[in-house]
Amino acid sequence: MSQTTEQLYKSDIGDILENSLNGKRPGPEECLRLLKSEDVYLMGLVSGHLTKKQFGKKASFINNII
């Protein structure tokens, strides 16, 4: 079991993050739990994974400096 998986199962928001990884969007009560949680690192790992899954490794930059 990887360290990230262990953190996911030990976290108080692990169920929400696991559902997100499985494609289920969080409801209002779950969003409130995420906002109250201090497990920002794990939320960042999951969000980064979901972003790469949806968009790949492409990045874009728009230079709006005049």
Tens digit of pLDDT for each residue in 4-61? Answer: 788 888 899 999 999 999 999 999 999 999 999 999 999 999 999 998 998 888 777 7
Q: What is the rounded CA–CA span in Å between residue 28 and residue 51? A: 21
Length of the chain: 66
pLDDT computed for residue 59 by the predictor: 75
**Torsion of Cα atoms, 45 then 46 then 48 then 51, to 10°:** 180
In this predicted structure, the answer to whether residue 1 has a pLDDT above a threshold of 60 is no
Q: What is the DSSP string of 6-47?
A: HHHHHSTTHHHHHHHHTTPPP-HHHHHHHHH---HHHHHHHH
